[in-house]
A and B are shown apart, each in its own frame.
Chain A
């Protein structure tokens, strides 16, 4: 029992440690970046499942590449009613085309905006990044204000492991694409690490 306070202190200290502290910038690798960077998702319908702090919601999500190179993300329920329609321009501008009042809250929209920016690979499109090697993984990071978007590959650049949003200290969001990857992922799983929220997208095979 005498060790308990020390153990707790150690655990607390460890929990305060940055998850990105081992990132040490190394030189760029344009060949790897060009080969594997998740820069967009081709037009697809997805079966969407959203779990937020014990609440579950399902529906259909359309990711649509527009002629002006922007992307639209539209979420409807199974019956067909549109819940939100967001636009992401090539220049990085975000526009709410429509959103039902139940979801029209600043925190909700900002969270969904950042989630889909990462899923669409928007932060990586400018091609400005720093690269770090940690263990068996390579981190490609793009700093945006107080947060950094990462895509993480295997050390040999053979596969995309995941995408992340992180602050200087903590991982906030991660995205994985089990099965086929970008630009036409079969499955997209987004998880928040600072609260209980997960979005799972499964591509619909249309007849």
Chain B
């Protein structure tokens, strides 16, 4: 700590500036927090009347030389002055307000960057099969479960050919291939005429109703109808759940 190479400092703030203007001049040449210290530096003997470049309207000293500055610093020569220095006297934006503004702007920019980062994780375009697809003409389907759309769209189309089957009679419905237990894809076992999930053994009838294993509820059905050209149209964005009584919805079954 004993830095004896440093030129000896003028002890104490002995040079008392005659006006507040000189204090401001000294303060402008030093870090603003070291105003009292700067007054002790050899830079102090500059001409008191020297025109100080005004710092972008931060002070009002031009209109009232010495007035506001002197008022803000009643004892400029006090070594341990606790009042703010002359630069901090603007009525428009004092240091505290400026810091508040700066921190506010910084926080807002950070929050915006964070929000943008979060939004970045949700792409605008998905490379996934569409929710809605044409599934061919009704006469291309035979009786029972059809697996042709399972791989691409995750849908089984089931045809009921018998008019007398309750509750709808003959027609089509579309089952999601998502097990209601934990979301695996069941297999259709044609020999046993049931869906069987390989993950935990849930079993479903071809209606989609669960009858074995841990599945808590039947498979969901998707909206099914006819498009303008007579093809079956499946819309996966609308779901129909048996336990909510939605299978009786006309969109859940295609009469044919």
A binds B: no
Contact residues of B with A, CB < 8 Å? none
Mark A residues whose CB is within 8 Å of B: none
